[in-house]
Chains A and B, each alone.
Chain A
Amino acid sequence: KAGVTQTPRYLIKTRGQQVTLSCSPISGHRSVSWYQQTPGQGLQFLFEYFSETQRNKGNFPGRFSGRQFSNSRSEMNVSTLELGDSALYLCASSLESSYNSPLHFGNGTRLTVT
């Protein structure tokens, strides 16, 4: 069974631009969660989608948004990029809610903002 696939693996953007990251979950998984990982803050929860609906959202500004499609694939978008948005963005899928089902993580998208 294929794992969680995130594209692209690396991105370099400049301040003020926007970016879209993509995540394909494991087949049959209905929940997709996004996390931001930085050396200073560690892993921080961005949001979770389940059956195309945002279920939960972490403490991030409105510049961070996401969506989930009917095939469970998910995208996250960051608008008006800031230097502090440089991070590894991880997507994770699970059968049901992340509270009840183990998360399966992708290898992440490394975003660098210059």
Chain B
Amino acid sequence: GDSVTQMEGPVTLSEEAFLTINCTYTATGYPSLFWYVQYPGEGLQLLLKATKADDKGSNKGFEATYRKETTSFHLEKGSVQVSDSAVYFCAASDGGGADGLTFGKGTHLIIQP
């Protein structure tokens, strides 16, 4: 089945630093790709998504581009804030959603002022 691999962290950065969280996937088809975020004390919520190759998802200053050739969907932000501290999950959904979403293990991001 599908699998998603992401750096687990914790990743600690200073405010205004550049952020990259790597995510790669394996899939037999062409999945939709997602980043979900879990802020302290809250449930998981969708951050951004991309449904086909070369699509770029963006939200709240975060971006990720669906790269079929490298099977990657890396999350980036140019200048992080303390409020971005959270756990970030990369996820893939196969065609038709037969197996639900396949999630990575999550990356705990800590932003220091």
- Name A's B-contacting residues (CB within 8 A): 3-4, 33, 35, 42-48, 55-56, 58, 90, 92, 97-100, 102-108
Segment at the A interface, from B10-18, B60-68, B78-86, B93-101: B93-101
Assess whether B44 is interfacial by the CB under 8 Å rule. Answer: yes
Inside 8 A of B95's CB, which chain A residues have their CB? 99
Inside 8 A of B93's CB, which chain A residues have their CB? 98-99
A3 touches B106 (CB 8 A): no
A-B contact count (CB 8 A): 64
- Name B's A-contacting residues (CB within 8 A): 32, 34, 36, 42-46, 49, 89, 93-106
The 30 listed contacts between A and B (C-beta, < 8 Å) are: A33-B100, A35-B100, A42-B103, A42-B106, A43-B89, A43-B101, A44-B103, A45-B99, A46-B100, A47-B100, A48-B97, A55-B97, A56-B98, A56-B100, A58-B99, A90-B43, A92-B44, A98-B93, A98-B97, A98-B100, A99-B32, A99-B93, A99-B96, A102-B49, A103-B46, A103-B101, A104-B43, A105-B45, A106-B43, A108-B43
Residue of A nearest to B99 (CB): A45
Given A3-B43, A98-B100, A102-B46, 12 extra CB contacts under 8 A: A4-B43, A33-B101, A43-B103, A45-B101, A48-B97, A55-B97, A56-B100, A58-B100, A99-B94, A100-B97, A105-B44, A105-B45
B44 touches A90 (CB 8 A): yes
Inside 8 A of A99's CB, which chain B residues have their CB? 32, 93-97
